[in-house]
Structure 1
Amino acid sequence: MTTDADHRPAALEGIRVLDFTQMMLGPFATQILADLGADVIKIERPVVGEWERSLEFAGELVDGDSAAFVAMNRNKRSVAIDLKAAGAREALLKLAATCDVVVENFRPGVMDRLGLGYDDFRAVRPDIVYCSGSGWGQRTKYAAMNRPGQDLLIQAATGLAANTGSAADPPTAAGTSMCDATGALTLANGILAALLARARHGIGQRVEVDLFHATMAILCQEISAMTNLGIDFSRSPAGVGQPWLSAPFGIYRTADGWIALAMGDIGVVAEVFDDRLVAGMDPWLDRDAIKQRLDAATPTRATDDWLQAMLAAGLWAAPVRTMKQAMDELITDESDLVVEVEHAGGRTLRLLGCPITLSETPWRQRLRPPTVGEHTHDILAAVLDDAELTALQKAGAL
Structure 2
Amino acid sequence: MTTTDPTSDTPAALEGIRVLDFTQMMLGPFATQVLADLGADVIKVERPEVGEWERGLEFAGRLIGTDSAAFVAMNRNKRSVAIDLKGKGARDALLRLAETCDVVVENFRPGVMDRLGLGYEDFRAVRADIIYCSGSGWGQRTKYAQENRPGQDLLIQAASGLALNTGTAGDPPIAAGTSICDATGALTLANGILAALLARYRHGVGQRVEVDLFHATMAILTQEISAMVNLGLDFTRSEAGIAQPWLSAPFGMYRTADGWIAIAMGELSAVAEVFGDPALADMDAWADRDAIKRRLDAVTPSRTTEDWLHPLLAAGLWAAPVRTMKEAAAELAADGSPLIVDVEHTSGETLQLVGCPITLSETPWRQRLRPPAVGEHTREVLSEVLSEEALRDLQEAGAL
The TM-score by the shorter chain falls in which range?
Answer: over 0.9
Structure 2 match to 1:235:
237
What percent of counterpart residues are identical?
78
Tell me the CA shift for residue 301 of structure 1.
Answer: 1.2
Mapped partners of 2:370, 2:388: distance in 1:
28
Tell me the CA shift for residue 278 of structure 1.
Answer: 1.4
- 1:220-250 CA deviation, whole Å, 9 max, x = no partner? 0110011001111111010001000000000
Structure 2 match to 1:169:
171
Task: Say if 2:119 is the partner of 1:117.
Answer: yes
Mapped partners of 1:226, 1:3: distance in 2:
47
Alignment equivalent of 1:82, drawn from 84, 93, 105: 84
Structure 1 match to 2:350:
348
Task: Say if 2:24 is the partner of 1:29.
Answer: no
Structure 1 stretches lacking a partner, 5+ long: none
Q: How does 1:240-319 map to 2 (within 5 A)?
A: 240-319=242-321
Q: How does 1:373-384 map to 2 (within 5 A)?
A: 373-384=375-386
Structure 1 match to 2:222:
220
Mapped partners of 1:70, 1:111: distance in 2:
25
Mapped partners of 1:3, 1:83: distance in 2:
34
Q: How does 1:326-345 map to 2 (within 5 A)?
A: 326-345=328-347
- 1:300-321 CA deviation, whole Å, 9 max, x = no partner? 1111111011001000000101
Tell me the CA shift for residue 386 of structure 1.
Answer: 1.9
Mapped partners of 1:347, 1:277: distance in 2:
58
Mapped partners of 1:15, 1:237: distance in 2:
52
Tell me the CA shift for residue 96 of structure 1.
Answer: 0.2
Mapped partners of 2:374, 2:122: distance in 1:
26
Mapped partners of 1:329, 1:126: distance in 2:
48
- 1:92-150 CA deviation, whole Å, 9 max, x = no partner? 00000000000000000000000000000000000000000000000000000000000
Mapped partners of 1:300, 1:326: distance in 2:
25
Alignment equivalent of 1:206, drawn from 205, 208, 229: 208
Q: What is the alpha-carbon root mean square deviation over aligned residues? A: 0.8
Structure 2 match to 1:99:
101
Structure 2 stretches lacking a partner, 5+ long: none
Tell me the CA shift for residue 276 of structure 1.
Answer: 3.0
TM-score (norm: length of structure 1): 0.99
Structure 2 match to 1:158:
160
Task: Please tell me whether the aligned partners of residues 4 and 368 of structure 2 are also in contact (alpha carbons under 8 angstroms).
Answer: no
Task: Please tell me whether the aligned partners of residues 242 and 251 of structure 2 are also in contact (alpha carbons under 8 angstroms).
Answer: yes
Q: What SS does the corresponding residue of 2:3 show, helix, strand or coil?
A: coil
- The runs of at least 4 aligned residues of structure 1 exceeding 6 Å deviation read none
Tell me the CA shift for residue 277 of structure 1.
Answer: 4.0
Tell me the CA shift for residue 257 of structure 1.
Answer: 1.0
Tell me the CA shift for residue 35 of structure 1.
Answer: 0.1
Task: Please tell me whether the aligned partners of residues 277 and 293 of structure 1 are also in contact (alpha carbons under 8 angstroms).
Answer: no
Structure 2 match to 1:2:
3
Structure 2 match to 1:54:
56
Q: Which amino acid aligns with 1:249?
A: F
Tell me the CA shift for residue 3 of structure 1.
Answer: 4.3
Mapped partners of 1:387, 1:332: distance in 2:
52
Q: Which amino acid aligns with 1:77?
A: R
Mapped partners of 1:146, 1:77: distance in 2:
31
- 1:346-375 CA deviation, whole Å, 9 max, x = no partner? 111111100000000000100000000000
Task: Please tell me whether the aligned partners of residues 37 and 366 of structure 2 are also in contact (alpha carbons under 8 angstroms).
Answer: yes
Structure 2 match to 1:197:
199
Tell me the CA shift for residue 390 of structure 1.
Answer: 1.1
Q: Which amino acid aligns with 2:3?
A: T
Mapped partners of 2:384, 2:259: distance in 1:
58
Structure 1 match to 2:21:
19
Q: What SS does the corresponding residue of 1:278 show, helix, strand or coil?
A: helix
TM-score (norm: length of structure 2): 0.99
